């Protein structure tokens, strides 16, 4: 039995996108296509119910035909998952289009207890010795603990059918080099970014994962929403933040709709 590959902090995350080779698919006999659809639908249902595995199959809207996002504590399970799909009869008719490996993390720019204390004193003018100060600081620390847990051990939403994924990095240009900035300045800029993102609470759920050393970019951003405009709006507004306007580099965007395995044939026009 191969040992599991668990990280001390954070979970591996995989995004995969494919095109369907329609010529190869149509070259199969009708009974072979029917069997392939049934095989894939059963497999998607099975992995979707697997304990510990968060699996979101997707019907691509523009660039891709089919894809999925998966999160699991063990990297080996994600490796096996990709091979299992590729090993189905339908998988032999898929052409890989784009893939992305990352892992969940807590941002190094997350507000600390000291940040909370400073805000209560300097902005809200509370006495550090007062009961109200202690109550508000405890509430702040609890919010940060919940936020950190959600970042490290994300729970993907089941009630948001639209999924947008894109990779990004920070600029290392001669004029605008993110990594040449002092830490406190980077933290200030990311704080403004977070303020914009919180305006969309309830409309968009955002998962940021890290991929430095794992992929060609530095972060992956996954946005979950119920409507396309919410995705457009949050990305548009965030691009005006100084941290993005001066230092943000963006890759290709992939938008998909959560795929119901029972509707596989109709959704993908197989």
Which among 166, 179, 247, 254 is annotated as catalytic?
A: 166
Instruction: Kindly write down the DSSP assignment for every residue of 206-255, as one continuous string.
Output: EEEEE-BTTBSSSEEEEEEESSHHHHHHHHHHHTTSHHHHHHEEE---EE
Integer Rg of the chain from CA: 21
SS3 200: coil
Least Cα distance to 68 among 256, 205, 248, 225 occurs for: 256
Sign of the alpha-carbon dihedral angle for 90, 95, 97, 100 = positive
Helices 131-152 and 113-122 meet at what angle, rounded to 10?
A: 140
Q: Is 166 in the active site? A: yes
User: What phi-psi label fits residue 110: left (phi over 0), alpha (psi between -120 and 50 degrees) or beta?
Assistant: beta
Residues 224, 205: contact at Cβ < 8 Å? yes
User: What six digits make up the tokens of 227?
Assistant: 């409507």
N-to-C CA span, the chain: 38
Residues 35, 43: contact at Cβ < 8 Å? no
Q: Supply the residues annotated as catalytic.
A: 166
């Amino acid at each position: 039995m191969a040992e599991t590959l668990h990280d001390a902090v954070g979970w591996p995350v995989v995004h995969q996108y494919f095109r369907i080779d329609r010529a190869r698919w149509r070259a199969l006999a009708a009974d072979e296509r029917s069997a392939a659809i049934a095989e894939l639908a059963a497999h998607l249902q099975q992995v979707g119910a697997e304990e510990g595995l968060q699996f979101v199959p997707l019907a691509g809207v523009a660039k891709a035909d089919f894809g999925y996002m998966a999160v699991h504590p063990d990297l080996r399970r994600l490796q096996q998952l990709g091979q299992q799909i590729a090993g189905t009869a339908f998988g032999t008719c898929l052409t890989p289009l784009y893939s992305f490996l990352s892992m969940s993390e807590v941002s190094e720019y997350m507000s600390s207890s000291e940040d909370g204390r400073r805000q209560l004193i300097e902005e809200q003018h509370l006495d550090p010795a007062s009961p109200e100060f202690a109550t508000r600081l405890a509430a702040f620390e609890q919010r940060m603990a919940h936020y950190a847990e959600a970042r490290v051990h994300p729970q993907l939403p089941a009630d948001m059918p639209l999924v947008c994924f894109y990779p990004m990095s920070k600029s290392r240009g001669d004029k605008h080099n993110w990594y040449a900035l002092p830490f406190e300045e980077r933290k200030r800029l990311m704080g403004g970014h977070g303020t914009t993102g919180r305006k969309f609470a309830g409309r968009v759920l955002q998962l940021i994962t890290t991929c430095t050393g794992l992929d060609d970019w530095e972060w992956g951003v996954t946005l979950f929403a119920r409507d396309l405009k919410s995705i457009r709006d949050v990305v548009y507004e965030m691009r005006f933040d100084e941290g993005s306007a001066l230092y943000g580099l963006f890759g290709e965007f992939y938008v998909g709709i959560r795929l119901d395995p029972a509707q596989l044939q109709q959704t993908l026009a197989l």
